[in-house]
Amino acid sequence: MSTTATTTLPRIRGEVSYWAYLVPGGALFLAIIVLPFVMNIYFSLTRWPGLGDPTFIGLENYVRLFQDEVFWTSFRNSIAMIVAMVVVPTLLGLLLAAVLFDYIGKKFSGSVSSGLRAVYYLPQILPVTVVGILWSWILNPQTGALNVVLRSLGLDGMALNWLGSTDTALPSVMAVMVWVQVGYPVVIFMSALQRVDPELYEAAELDGAGWFTRFRAITLPQIKPETFVVTLTCTIAALKVFGPIYVLTRGGPENSTNVPSYFAYQNFFPKSQVGYGAAIATVLTVIVLLVAAIFMVLQARSERKEAEGR
């Protein structure tokens, strides 16, 4: 919490507590999220095909889940998704945003940097089905653009079975995810960079600081909030990723690209085992919650340090 024990702007007479501002969002949240989640937990303790009445079976679903090998494989693959959707896009996105904003924006014009930003963001606007179709065409081992180009360059040995071989399927999916994801950090970071007071840069420049020193000493600390937000939301997205897996590989080949959300989907609908699917969803949510909690604590600590530094 901040150094002052009381909240900012102590109340004046007749004024509503800050809590009142939370009422609209809070009420909706209770109805749309909390209640369904509690119901979901209830379903996870039952066996239920989705229609009729559920049968209570206690923790049986969870026991079965923890013994399911595919479940553990899918979590291992989640780590790969985190690399592909958090680590690489955040670093790359930060770099791109900085170059576009600081360098290109200044050396050329704002329109050029805006245009390039739009280009990098475009994959985020594309519906997932189409992402799957387009990349399947590119990665098709026999007729796909990638292999055709490689073969025409004489690199036959590199024309691999990208999405069909258990060795290359996961890396291929990861590469597609970087393509999909990188625009998001670019947009957020570019808006963050605008918040930074240019006078800080000028002062540093006068002191003889080069671009990289300025970046490290001024930019990075200033955009800490957005950095936290980007890494946390990308991590959540990585843990929950479903669409691209579904359209590219259906979790295959041989479960090598199966992820928890897809595994949950396989059990929710085709198998009509809503109870089991609910158990998977609950475990997934708990894991995501834990990861998020860690992030939040780190973020809170960093904010506290900031506030104390003032």
Scan residues 206-245 and list those touching other proteins (CB under 8 A).
206, 222, 224-226, 228-229, 232-233, 236, 240, 242
For other proteins, the binding residue among 76, 151, 216, 250 (CB under 8 A) is 250
For other proteins, the binding residue among 59, 63, 91, 130 (CB under 8 A) is 130
Can residue 85 be called a binding residue for other proteins (CB under 8 A)?
no
Nearer to other proteins, 79 or 112 (CB): 112
Task: Please list, in sequence order, all residues whose beta carbon lies within 8 angstroms of the beta carbon of residue 291, skipping any fewer than 6 positions away.
Answer: 235, 236, 239
Q: How far apart are CB 250 and other proteins at their closest, in Å? A: 6
142 by Cβ neighbours in 10 Å (0-12 / 13-18 / 19+) ranks as: exposed
What part of residues 159-198 is at the interface with other proteins (CB under 8 A)? Answer: 161-166, 169, 179, 187-188, 190-191, 194-198
Nearer to other proteins, 15 or 156 (CB): 15
Q: How far apart are CB 305 and other proteins at their closest, in Å? A: 11
Q: How far apart are CB 112 and other proteins at their closest, in Å? A: 8
Cα–Cα dist 206/179, whole Å: 38
Hey, what amino acid is at 295?
Answer: F
State phi, psi for 241 to the nearest 5 degrees.
-60, 135
Cα–Cα dist 114/101, whole Å: 9
31 by Cβ neighbours in 10 Å (0-12 / 13-18 / 19+) ranks as: exposed
| Contact by Cβ (8 Å): 66, 248 | no
Nearer to other proteins, 62 or 272 (CB): 272
What part of residues 8-27 is at the interface with other proteins (CB under 8 A)? Answer: 8-9, 11-12, 14-16, 18-27
Can residue 150 be called a binding residue for other proteins (CB under 8 A)?
no
Nearer to other proteins, 125 or 210 (CB): 125
For other proteins, the binding residue among 75, 200, 211, 215 (CB under 8 A) is 200
Peptide bond into 198 cis (omega under 30): no
Nearer to other proteins, 41 or 87 (CB): 41
| Contact by Cβ (8 Å): 176, 244 | yes
Cα–Cα dist 242/260, whole Å: 8
